[in-house]
Amino acid sequence: MTAPLGPARAALGRLERLGRPTGPVLRQSGRAVFLLAPGAAEPVPELLRWLGWGPELGLPIEARAAHPGDPRVPEPRTADWLRAGAPRPALDLRSPALLHLLDALADACARERLGLPPAR
């Protein structure tokens, strides 16, 4: 799942202050790349809609499943990490942390679009 770097940093900071896990996050081409467990990317649009962040808002959050032949995740030593991959696993659908992440990320994207400061 990817999102613009600014809102992603704001969401990560907010979740960190709240003591909520985020899983591993890479920085790549001006975007944050959130590594999700297999099968967790497909329902992201519906989860965002369920949380009240529907597609009509046009938030710049993109989620897609990895497919054979896609670029692999870089090795931890060479990746540009916003949040390191260990020891936390990637977030999956069984984790309430995924919903917290999606809500915080959507809120941060909306706040940036409206020119509001990040949530505390």
pLDDT values of the chain reduced to their tens digit, one per residue, 120 residues? 999 999 999 999 999 999 987 888 989 888 999 888 888 899 999 999 999 999 999 999 999 887 777 766 656 566 688 877 654 556 666 677 889 999 999 999 999 999 999 988
Q: In 3D, which of 118, 92, 94, 110 has the Cα closest to residue 24?
A: 92
Q: What are the tokens at 117? A: 């400061």
End-to-end CA distance of the chain, in Å?
Answer: 23
Tell me the CA distances in angstroms from 16 to 67, 74, 76, 103, 104, one per residue in order: 31, 24, 21, 14, 11
Q: How many domains does the chain have?
A: 1
Q: Which domain holds residue 12?
A: 2-67+79-114
The verdict on residue 85 lying in a domain is yes
The model carries a pTM of 0.84
Q: Confirm whether 119 is domain-assigned.
A: no
Indicate whether 10 belongs to any domain.
yes
